[in-house]
Amino acid sequence: MGRKEDNIAKATALSKSPELIRNIGTAAHIDHGKTTLSDNLIAGAGMMSSDLAGKQLMLDFDEQEQARGITINAANASMVHSYKGKEYLINLIDTPGHVDFGGDVTRAMRALDGCIIVVCAVEGIMPQTETVIRQALKERVRPVLFINKVDRLINELKVTKEEMQKRFVTIITEVNKRIATQLPEPLNKEWQVRPEDGSVAFGSAYNNWAVNVPSMKQTGIAFKDVYEYCKNQDMRTLAKKSPIHEVLLSMVIEHVPNPVEAQKMRIPIIWKGDKESKVGKSMLACDASGPVAMMVTKIIVDPHAGEVAIGRLFSGTVTRGMELWVAGMPNVQRTQTVSLSVGADRIPVDHMEAGNIVAVAGLKDAIAGSTVSSDPEMEAFEKITHYTEPVVTVAIEAKHMKDLPKLVEVLRSVAKADPSIQVEINNETGEHLLSGMGELHLEITIYRIVNDHKIEIKSSPPIVVYRENIKKKGGPFEGKSPNKHNRFFVEVESLPDNIVEAMKTGEIQTEGKIKDAKELASKLQELGMDRDEARGVVGFSGHNIFIDATKGIQYLNEVIELCKQGFEEAMNLGPLAQEKVSGVKVRLVDAKLHEDSIHRGPAQVIPAFRSAVYGAMATGGRILLEPMTKIHINCPESVMGDTLREVQQRRGIIEEINQEGDVSIIVAQAPVSEMFGFASAIRGATQGRALWSTENAGFVPVPSELQTKVVEQIRTRKGLKPEPYDASYYSG
């Protein structure tokens, strides 16, 4: 029995003892070294050859990942580690750092109890690092810190020992600042990372060594020795004396809570059901004998097993052939195989117990984010909120008619496996829209459709996703039904940013029916909404609110659902360019309805209400919002002029410029529409010497001098008449 097989046998045995399990992830900015770190941890634990570690990128088993040298999916693996005479099972998920794949990070966090935040010693805290720390804390995932690439700090930046220590202190302080502001008391103090208690480690994932205070005491290696070893390029000795997997896996076991401790704290945050119910109690206790409660965090499509759902089992035991329900789906599903994941391998087992990360085949209706349970009545887990929304769209169609049905199937499975991709299937025109987080995200999705599923497709150049809003309050505007017997009077107004933000982060639930109107009203009042308005909220659509501000209108309760439909239609296709409306409050202030219900059916009420909203928006001054990108660039001073020129040509606004040695750090914002082809342009302008990364920076109004032209382009592309209609058109 080889070492790998031996460890698989141990892993299967340990999966039955939740107090010996640790579910952890690695999370960081792109290229700070997460996957290399994950590989060396897996190799150290005997799950792959140590010569290949860091070069083989075991968790990057997708050929696109190996070709591009980045992680696209969140891959996972289980390994065994001995610490203080006991063996532990560590389930590790490696997450992407590229901003286009942020959705994968958000979902992976749901399965974890702890997270190794990897920060590059040279670059320090970067935008994506902040995002992952924020996501981890929101899901109550406990962070530990690994400062990577220490050798580069010493050999490339030539820092002194004192400067090295100073750099470490800065990074640790920055991380702790985030923890202090984003968690409630007492957690914000308890979860601080501290070198003295061993929750911070320093090292080089590529060269396979790491140190922290407990390991220094054990091995007798101090910071001055680390400095000398790196300076003399003798990192092999360091890796022998203080191997990375020993230090980091011991740090994880010591500081990350086991599933039993973690679930007591995490379940109330991620599940809003009744804590006294059978499933509630079982999840809080991580009880293997309770009902099955699993949250799917990822779907992978396996050529042999079909769709495999990977997720965290919070309660119960999943066995082969068991009947389970996917929340929100009518049919019961039967599990075909249950397995433990080790990188690209899945090891089949008879059953898996609460507290583990498990892979299940046979759940046809599950998508990433689904709740799976043996109790058909179980309330679903909180929706996983993504910090960014899709900003780029491509239109794709099959080259050959015969591939049409297959393409629709493939697009459905793409949307299941990656909910941060939005798919709009149009069977009439055969043209389907794919919206994602950025150019790279869509490029790779299309590559997978063509290469994995062998479908030839034509795709349009990328198109930017816009949003619509209004300048000032508009209305009351009267919308009449086609038969002229029903009238609705509507006002519209922009929502304050804090309310829109609360809807985006999920603090205000906008999905489905309003469950608790009182709680919703008090939350909106806390955010500054007027009391009567907060009580009148009857529906949401996207990040827009529909308020019924009328008093005692006859028959209104019979048509309010139809009004909601009219509201939703108006919000999905705005009056300016048929883009989605975002951040608008729609108030129904008066209505006159026909007494005979035959004259106020859907064909009368829906268009009347929609016209009232469109007309009110036209009187309030419609504006188009475009998505922005925040750009962080590190470049040598000698090419700074070219870099700035490249950004400013693209309507970029420079926010700050800092110097660190001979490196310039530039932070800027530019519209997504101007950023296509930026990668090759900046490489050309700086001879490939600029390092850059981007993150989505929300939507801002298109400059007024450009709006008419942009609206015209969008409308023409959609086959509409170039100018939008004015208010008089909607007054019927």
Mode of pairing for the β-strands spanning 537-541 and 653-660: unpaired
Burial per residue of 581-599, b for 16 or more beta-carbon CB atoms within 10 angstroms, e otherwise: bbbbbbbbbbbebbeeeee
Rounded CA separation 81/462 (Å):
47
Per-residue pLDDT, 512: 72
- Quote the Cα angle for 344-201-76, to 5°: 15
- Indicate left, alpha or beta for 728 from its phi (over 0: left) and psi (-120 to 50: alpha): alpha
The phi, psi pair for 135, rounded to 5°, reads -65, -45
Q: Where are the domains of the chain?
A: 3-257, 262-373, 392-464, 468-620, 624-701
For residue 174, the surrounding DSSP H or E stretch is helix 161-182
pLDDT at position 51 is 42
For residue 38, give the nearest of 368, 261, 341 by alpha carbon.
341
CA dihedral 233, 236, 237, 239 (to 10 degrees): 120
Instruction: Round to whole Å and give the CA distance between 459 and 439.
Output: 13
Q: How long a stretch of residues is the chain?
A: 732
Tokens of 709: 């032209």
SS3 721: coil
Q: Which residue shows structure tokens 């509630």?
A: 280
What is the C-alpha separation between 335 and 338, in angstroms, rounded? 7
Neighbours of 519 (CB within 10 A): 11
Residue 187 and residue 693: Cα distance in Å, rounded? 32
Please give the CATH topology (third level) of the domain spanning 624-701: Alpha-Beta Plaits (3.30.70)
Same fold, 3-257 and 468-620: no
Domain 468-620, CATH among 3.40.50.300, 1.10.620.20, 3.30.230.10, 3.30.1240.10: 3.30.230.10
| C-alpha Rg value of the chain to the nearest Å | 27
- The verdict on whether omega for the bond into residue 186 sits within 30 degrees of 0, i.e. cis, is yes
Give the integer Cα–Cα distance in Å for 393 and 226: 49
Q: How far apart are CA 109 and CA 541, in angstroms?
A: 27
Yes or no: say if 119 and 148 are a contact pair by the CB < 8 Å rule.
Answer: yes
CB 477 within 8 A of CB 570: no
CA–CA separation, 532 and 497 (whole Å): 20
Nearest CA to 639 out of 693, 680, 691, 695 is that of: 691
CATH of domain 262-373: 2.40.30.10
523, 510 contact by CB (below 8 A): no
Mean pLDDT for back-to-back runs of 10 residues, the chain (732 residues)? 63 84 80 64 52 44 47 58 87 58 64 90 79 84 92 84 90 92 88 94 89 92 88 87 89 94 91 89 93 87 79 92 88 88 70 90 84 88 67 86 84 74 72 80 81 84 90 92 93 94 82 82 92 92 93 90 94 93 95 90 94 95 92 84 90 88 84 85 81 81 93 89 92 77
Distance, C-alpha 647 to centroid of its chain: 27
| 202-205-208 Cα angle (round to 5) | 100
Residues 199 and 251: beta-carbon distance below 8 Å: yes
Phi, psi of 670 (to 5 degrees): -145, 155
Cis peptide preceding 476, ω within 30 of 0: yes
3-state secondary structure 655-683: EEEEEECCEEEEEEEEEHHHCCCHHHHHH
Report the Cα–Cα distance between both ends of the chain, in Å, rounded: 81
d(CA 578, CA 379): 35
This prediction has a pTM of 0.65
CB 218 within 8 A of CB 185: no
The position carrying tokens 């974890």 is 112
Q: What share of the chain is helix, strand, coil (3-state, %, to 5)?
A: 40, 30, 35
Residue 267, number of CB atoms within 10 A of its CB: 24
For residue 390, whether the previous peptide bond is cis, meaning omega lies within 30 degrees of 0, is no
Contacts of 191 (CB under 8 A, 6+ apart): 137, 142, 143, 179, 183
Question: Given this model, what pLDDT does residue 680 score?
Answer: 80
Is-contact 340 302, C-beta < 8 A? no
CA distance 104 to 582: 24
Cα(304)–Cα(374) distance, integer angstroms? 26
User: Residue 431 and residue 424: Cα distance in Å, rounded?
Assistant: 9
Other beta carbons within 10 angstroms of residue 19's beta carbon come to 12
**Residue 487 burial (CB < 10 Å; 0-12/13-18/19+)?**
middle
Q: Does domain 3-257 have CATH number 3.40.50.150?
A: no
Question: CB of 141 within 8 A of CB of 25?
Answer: yes
Alpha carbon distance 397, 432 (integer Å) = 6
Distance CA 321, CA 461 (A): 46
C-alpha distances (whole Å) from 413 to each of 391, 397, 455, 629 are: 21, 16, 14, 29
CATH, range 392-464 = 3.30.70.870
